[in-house]
Structure 1
Amino acid sequence: MARPVIFDLFHTLVHGADAERDRVVGEMALVVGVPPDALVAAYHATWRDRLVRWDVEETIRILAGRLGGTPTDEQVSRAADHRRALARRVLGRVSPAALGVLDALRGSGHPLALISNATAETAEAWVETPLAGRFDVAVFSSDVGLAKPDPAIYRHAAERLGVAPGDCVYVGDGADGELAGAAAVGMTVLRTVEHQDTDPAWDGPSFARLTDLPALLTGSPAGRTRQAPPPSYAG
């Protein structure tokens, strides 16, 4: 069997749109009656809770309340709809080239999985995107209550694929320590820099364009995968 390939989502398959997200959160603040800069800062400060605990409505109510706001249910609903629309836009921007790579890998027999540190609205939007049908397994932190680089989330994805973690290739940009987490459970790690050079200190193999990946996996002259040396990992 061709090796299973596990992908990160943001800054790997699609651009993360960080600046657009901050703009949208600022607009949500105006809907619920709190200062935009303060809500953006609160979003950044509570990233872990948003990834593994709160849905979009909870996030809005909790953070607005911490900032002195008392939004109505209608205001919370409007702000949540605005955030969900962003998730649909971002996932809808996946390029034809990225979809072509996924199709080529599937055609070559590679099982495909996704592990994403993502809030609930991204997981909701996923099923409506052209990406969803190309993956055998999709694991979102908001669904499983785990986030990268926790080794358990990588093991969970491998278990759902029916393989050992060491059988898998992990592809990501490196956010949230994800590359070290994948290496710690024995996965072969490939770092992509197409959308963002997130983890320049990573000393394993990297590639510039997602379209380079099939050649790396087949061991053509364009490159060969190798097992990156697992770094020390305490968590």
Structure 2
Amino acid sequence: MVVRAVFFDLYETLITEFEKGKRISKRSYDYMNSLGLSEAEFKREWRIRFERRMNGQFPSYHAVIRDILESRSLPYHEEHVEFLYQSRVSEKRIPFHTISNEICRMLELLRERGLKLGLISNCSEEEVISFGQSGLAPYFDDVIFSYKVGVAKPNEEIYRLACERLSVTPQDSLFIGDGGSDELRGASNSGLTPYHAYWYNTFIESEYEKIHHPLHVLDMIESFNEMELPEP
């Protein structure tokens, strides 16, 4: 096998929302005044809808909030929900403005070596609304956002779809991610070779080989290809 494609996770792999263990945005939302829910109540409702948010069953942030409020028999105030939505969009825009030079250099070098690059992200619309205008977008041959394709990691279907869209086989492909959503196991079960991106998120553990610095991806691929070369 020679590596033909590398697929990446997005959040906490190519971009990060944290610095020195603290959230960069310092977000603070007044859910009680906006929705009539305490922060703890809102977070509980938000979490239990995670899978449906990621796989597009909820078509928008507004639809999620409407569902939460209806389940609690609370009124839906459009202006309050729109304010929360715009605040979340602004929060999620921040990481796209602070992309590491090392990340960009890694992607640039991978492209120079003729590798196809794909992105597979579990996300909802407001989380990636800034991706297309970011410095990351030009590096990728294809981008898969879970909410658009109706399936999320670790479901094997999303990895197979990613390979089909780049015209590569899973056996020719690597997946690099921080390990959230059990994505590394999903990649492995789909036939891709997974590697654990360990440069931002260091609290998730896995059985997969860790890469501690973005530029080490190049060394790892070169070693991988050399190992697979047949003897003369």
With structure 1 as the length reference, what TM-score do the two structures score?
Answer: 0.85
Q: Secondary structure at the match of 1:124?
A: coil
Tell me if the contact between 2:61 and 2:85 (Cα under 8 Å) persists in the aligned partners. yes
The residue type paired with residue 216 of structure 2 is D
Deviates more, 1:89-98 or 1:111-120: 89-98
- Aligned-residue offset at 1:16: 4.4
Tell me if the contact between 2:4 and 2:116 (Cα under 8 Å) persists in the aligned partners. yes
Residues 1:124 and 1:219: Cα distance change in structure 2 (over 3 Å): same
CA distances 1:112-163 after superposition (whole Å, capped 9, x unpaired): 0000111111232211211111111110111111000100000111111011
The residue type paired with residue 200 of structure 1 is E
Residues 1:138 and 1:30: Cα distance change in structure 2 (over 3 Å): farther
Give, in whole Å, the separation in 2 of the partners of 1:224 and 1:44. 44
2:49: which partner in 1? Answer: 46
1:7: which partner in 2? Answer: 8
Q: Secondary structure at the match of 2:200?
A: coil
Give, in whole Å, the separation in 1 of the partners of 2:46 and 2:189. 29
Give, in whole Å, the separation in 2 of the partners of 1:64 and 1:225. 56
1:35: which partner in 2? Answer: 38
The residue type paired with residue 45 of structure 1 is I
- Aligned-residue offset at 1:93: 2.4
| Percent of aligned positions that are identical | 25
2:90: which partner in 1? Answer: 85
1:216: which partner in 2? Answer: 220
Q: Secondary structure at the match of 1:147?
A: coil
Q: Secondary structure at the match of 2:40?
A: helix
The residue type paired with residue 186 of structure 2 is G
Task: Give the unaligned 5+ runs of structure 1.
Answer: 227-235
Q: Secondary structure at the match of 1:169?
A: strand
Residues 1:29 and 1:149: Cα distance change in structure 2 (over 3 Å): farther
Tell me if the contact between 1:39 and 1:64 (Cα under 8 Å) persists in the aligned partners. no
Give, in whole Å, the separation in 1 of the partners of 2:182 and 2:26. 25
- 1:104 is matched with which residue: 100, 109, 115? 109
Q: Which has the higher contact order (CA 8 A, sep 6+)?
A: 2
Give, in whole Å, the separation in 1 of the partners of 2:226 and 2:89. 39
Give, in whole Å, the separation in 2 of the partners of 1:19 and 1:43. 21
How many residues align structurally? 223
With structure 2 as the length reference, what TM-score do the two structures score?
Answer: 0.86
Residues 1:93 and 1:59: Cα distance change in structure 2 (over 3 Å): farther
Tell me if the contact between 2:54 and 2:147 (Cα under 8 Å) persists in the aligned partners. yes
Task: Give the unaligned 5+ runs of structure 2.
Answer: none
| CA RMSD in angstroms, aligned pairs only | 2.6
Within-5 A mapping of 1:1-235: 3-17=4-18, 20=23, 24=27, 26-28=29-31, 30-52=33-55, 53-54=57-58, 55-202=60-207, 204-219=208-223
Q: Secondary structure at the match of 1:127?
A: helix
Q: Secondary structure at the match of 2:175?
A: strand
Tell me if the contact between 2:5 and 2:116 (Cα under 8 Å) persists in the aligned partners. yes
1:233: which partner in 2? Answer: none
Give, in whole Å, the separation in 1 of the partners of 2:198 and 2:144. 22
Tell me if the contact between 1:115 and 1:140 (Cα under 8 Å) persists in the aligned partners. yes
- Aligned-residue offset at 1:68: 4.1
Tell me if the contact between 2:195 and 2:211 (Cα under 8 Å) persists in the aligned partners. yes
Give, in whole Å, the separation in 2 of the partners of 1:25 and 1:119. 20
Give, in whole Å, the separation in 2 of the partners of 1:130 and 1:225. 33
